[in-house]
């Protein structure tokens, strides 16, 4: 769970819809791939078992929000 929070924190804030990319994983030597679409987002580290998650996001919401750590 801590790795997942760290990975989310490493993402750029307010990812535009229908875009994705990679950021260096803060927990290992891998790369975290992220994708953002209309009603959700996903992230997945290139290192198996590191971190992976999908999110359902309300339409029009900004994700990740700048202060995500407080609620995660
Ligand atoms: Zn990782």
If you ran DSSP here, which 8-state letter would residue 72 be given?
-
> Residue for token digits 């990319």?
21
- Angstrom CA distances, 63 to 29, 30, 47, stand at 25, 22, 23
If you ran DSSP here, which 8-state letter would residue 13 be given?
S
Q: How many domains does the chain have?
A: 1
Structure tokens at 16: 């535009």
Q: How far is the CA of 47 from the centre of ligand 1 (A)?
A: 5
pLDDT digits (tens, 9 = 90+) for 8-40: 999 998 999 999 999 999 999 999 999 999 999
User: Is 71 a member of any domain?
Assistant: no
User: Is 10 a member of any domain?
Assistant: yes
Q: In the predicted model, is pLDDT for residue 45 greater than 60?
A: yes
Q: How far is the CA of 33 from the centre of ligand 1 (A)?
A: 10
Q: How far is the CA of 4 from the centre of ligand 1 (A)?
A: 9
- Enclosing domain of residue 46: 2-61
pTM: 0.86
């Amino acid at each position: 769970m801590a790795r997942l929070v760290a990975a989310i924190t490493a993402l750029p804030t307010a990812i535009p819809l229908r875009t994705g990319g990679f950021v260096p994983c803060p927990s290992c030597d891998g790369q975290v791939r992220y994708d953002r679409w209309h009603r959700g987002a996903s992230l997945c580290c290139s290192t198996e078992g590191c971190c992976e998650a999908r999110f359902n996001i309300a339409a029009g919401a900004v994700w990740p929000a700048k202060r995500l750590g407080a609620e995660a």
